[in-house]
Chain A
Amino acid sequence: MDKYNYEGLIGEGTYGVVSKATAKENGQIVAIKKIKKILVQGQSDDGINFSAIREIKILQELKHHNIVELLDIFAHKSNVNLVFEMMQWDLQEVIEDRSIVLKPADIKSYMKMLLQGIEACHSNWVLHRDLKPNNLLMSLEGELKLADFGLARQYGSPNKMFSPQAVTIFYRAPELLFGAKSYGPSVDIWSVGCIFAELMLRTPYLPGTSEIDQLRKICSALGTPNETNWPGVTCLPNYLRFTEHPPTPFKQLFTAATDEAIDLISKMLLFNPAARISAAEALNHPYFTTGVKPTNPIDLPIPLAKRSNILQQRQQVQLQQQQQDIQNITTTSNNTTGVDSTNNIQVEPQQV
């Protein structure tokens, strides 16, 4: 608490309020999430929230430039506070900002950073389980980072059952909707596929209003799951038969997309979770190696409402850096070039 200067609230997370603050030690701007206790009447206080424990547990071990960094944790009275690096805007704001035109290179850049973050999670045996545009945060430098690991969990232990009630409904994989009790990293890939589509469409791809409606939307977009395209689907606990429906060809929906983009998204949105592409495979997909190069993060579009503020902050950082550089140069030159400058003065008259 004493290590930070608080500068006001910036938002409300799933289980706590988030404040902006500056670290007294080095002036770094941070976001501090204070975990609040949710007390339900008639239920005893059972201590620190389960989601908070999950987030602490996982982010302490996961360090990657496409995952939001947990810088510090401290307790104040009986509250636990998580200190994160400061993030500036999220992908949902970008998608909803009509003044922004997303170029194919921009989308490729977001997808690359998103998949790198996911790959880091999956190679650490962590499922995010709640990927959606407003959980994908952007740093001042335009780096995309995964946030909100409150629903994340480790997988891979034998005979572990999961609750199928994870992931916001629009981005929820069909195996979860059918009540699968054991699932894997492919649930995150489905969400990535939906986000990919949303970046191209600029509106949610499968905006279901209920679990049934979500399945209906999936079927009308991608066809009907059956034992041929998804072996074992009929055995899932909540399996429902939907009327046979032909899929809408991706090419028809994403008219501007390249063949590689279409191929990648179709592999992310496969019904059969076992056949769905992995994050590591996706990063090696021709989509990333052919055609336009991904936009540099710093050149990615900024939501209009925050643009001037962000550019100002960037300028400040640049200025500070320049000053630091100048300081470094002058201190080093004072130490070493003292001799040179006197030499020069002595040499010059001789040349004349």
Chain B
Amino acid sequence: MSLYNKSTQFKNWVFTNEQLKQSREECNNETKKKILEKTPTHEPNILSTEEELQLIHYYESKALEFSNALNLPEKVSATAIIYIKRFYLKNSVMAYNPKLIMFTCLFLACKTEDNHLDIDYYTGVIKTSAADIISLEVVILESLKFNLIIYHPFRSLYAFILDISDNTNLYNNSQPIKFDTLWDTSKKLIQKTLFSDLSFYYHPAIIALACLSLNFENFNL
């Protein structure tokens, strides 16, 4: 049995479309109820589930931007994005400021991906106080059920490309395949999938294969 099938990702974080929708609507409704109980006048400011999703997506893309600005490896940003996504399956944007959650998820992803990032340097760059980041760490860990290892499609993609390069004679190709470009363009596609819900539905290897096959035409494969 593959490692993925025994992972917490497979056991706890694979859903159907309906389950995702339900989970998000529950978070939205609960928070809505709480806010209106306290301050009924806030009604016009309440976000819908769709609006929440848009905000989450916006901050997911920001996580990638900050990660690139800080020169962090792609694995860190990918993990941070998945953390944000998982966090907002259990919590509403109206309850936790997505900007701070994004910053803390990025900081946490640095720790879990063995990429040390100095807190003072980090908070200097993002212009946020360390206390704001740190105080959310435990909340996020709890929402993530302390499941921290994320399986990304990058490694599978790498393996598939190695397989193809070992068997180039299988493909009637007059021109040599440019594996570097194949890797880069496929990787970019995978990065795009991070902003979708695909990681909640599919095995990372399937996502990798799909991204690769979308690219096949361009490489005469």
Partner of A60, one of B108, B119, B130, B148: B148
Name which of B136-144, B170-178, B195-203 contacts chain A: B136-144
Residue of B nearest to A73 (CB): B146
B130 touches A78 (CB 8 A): no
Q: Beta-carbon contacts of B1-22 to A below 8 Å, as 1s and 0s?
A: 0010011100000000000000
Residues of B within 8 A of A73 (CB): 141, 146
B residues 70-125 near A (Cβ < 8 Å) are: 75, 107-108, 111-112, 114, 116, 118-120, 123
Kindly state whether residue B29 has any CB partner on chain A within 8 Å: no
Give which listed residue, B75, B130, B142, B148, contacts A53 with CB less than 8 A.
B148
| Cα A56 to Cα B147 with chains together (Å) | 8
The answer to whether B116 and A44 have CB atoms under 8 Å apart is no
Q: Which residue of A43, A60, A63, A160 has the most chain B CB atoms within 10 A of its CB atom?
A: A60
A230 within 8 A of B: no
Interface 0/1 of B137-163, CB less than 8 Å to A: 110011000111100000100100000
- Smallest Cβ distance from A315 to chain B, in angstroms? 36
Interface assignment of A47: CB less than 8 Å from any CB of chain B? yes
The distance in angstroms between the C-alpha atoms of A78 and B120, with both chains bound, is: 20
Whether A47 and B134, one on each chain, are in contact in the complex, defined by CB atoms closer than 8 angstroms, is yes
Q: Which residues of B are found within 8 Å of A141, using beta-carbon distances?
A: none
| B6 lies within 8 A of A80 (CB) | no
- Residues of chain B lying within 8 A (CB to CB) of residue A125: 3
Contact A50 B141 (CB under 8 A): no
What number of residue pairs across chains A and B have CB atoms under 8 A from each other?
A: 68
Q: Is the CB of B141 within 8 A of A75?
A: yes
Q: Do the beta carbons of A61 and B6 come within 8 Å of each other?
A: yes
B8 close to A53 (CB less than 8 A):
no
Asked whether A153 lies within 8 Å of B130 as measured between CB atoms, the reply is no
Question: Residues 44-70 of chain A: 1 if any B CB is under 8 Å from the residue's CB, otherwise 0?
Answer: 111110100110111011010000000
Contact B3 A48 (CB under 8 A): no
Is A324 located at the chain interface by the 8 A CB criterion?
A: no
Q: Is the CB of B133 closer than 8 A to any CB of chain A?
A: yes
Could you say which interface size class chain B belongs to?
20 to 34
Q: How far is the CA of A44 from the CA of B6 in the complex (A)?
A: 37
Could you say which of A44, A53, A124 contacts B3, with CB atoms under 8 Å apart?
Answer: A124
A79–B142 CA distance with the chains assembled, in angstroms: 11
Binding site of B, secondary structure by majority: helix, strand, loop or mixed? Answer: helix
Tally of A interface residues using CB under 8 Å = 27
Which chain B positions have C-beta within 8 A of A75? 138, 141-142
Residue of A nearest to B107 (CB): A47
How far apart sit A329 and B112, CA to CA, in the bound complex (Å)? Answer: 50
A47 touches B119 (CB 8 A): yes
A50 to B111, CA, bound (A): 6
The answer for the CA separation of A60 and B134 in the assembled complex, in Å, is: 22
User: In whole angstroms, how far apart are the Cα atoms of A54 and B108 in the complex?
Assistant: 11
User: Could you say which of B114, B134, B146, B155 contacts A46, with CB atoms under 8 Å apart?
Assistant: B134
- The reply to whether B137 and A44 contact each other, CB–CB distance below 8 Å, is no
The reply to whether B8 and A61 form a contact with Cβ atoms under 8 Å apart is yes
* Cα distance, A238 to B116, chains bound together (Å): 24
Q: A50-B111, A61-B7, A61-B8 are in contact. Are A44 and B148 (CB under 8 A)?
A: no
Contacts of B114 in A (CB 8 A): 54, 153-154, 160
Q: How far is the CB of A235 from chain B (nearest CB, A)?
A: 25
Determine the distance from Cα of A285 to Cα of B130 in the docked complex, in whole angstroms. Answer: 53
By a CB distance below 8 angstroms, the chain A residues around B116 are: 50
Kindly supply a per-residue 1/0 record for chain A positions 26-58, scoring 1 wherever the CB is within 8 Å of any chain B CB and 0 otherwise.
000000000000000001111110100110111
Q: In chain A, what residue has the closest Cβ to B138? A: A75
Contact digits for A159-186, partner B, Cβ 8 Å, 1 yes 0 no: 0100000000000000000000000000
Across the two chains, which residue of chain A brings its CB closest to B122? A46
Spell out A's residues near B (CB within 8 Å).
43-48, 50, 53-54, 56-58, 60-61, 63, 73, 75, 78-80, 124-125, 153-154, 157-158, 160
Complex A-B: 27 CB contacts under 8 Å: A43-B120, A44-B119, A44-B120, A44-B123, A44-B130, A45-B130, A46-B130, A46-B134, A47-B133, A47-B134, A47-B137, A48-B138, A48-B141, A50-B116, A56-B141, A56-B148, A57-B112, A58-B149, A60-B147, A61-B7, A63-B6, A73-B141, A75-B141, A80-B138, A125-B3, A153-B114, A157-B155
Q: Known pairs A47-B108, A73-B146. 10 more at Cβ < 8 A?
A: A44-B119, A45-B134, A46-B134, A53-B111, A53-B148, A56-B141, A60-B148, A60-B149, A124-B3, A160-B114
Going nearest first, the 7 A-B pairs with the smallest beta carbon separation are A46-B119, A57-B148, A47-B134, A73-B146, A47-B137, A75-B138, A53-B111
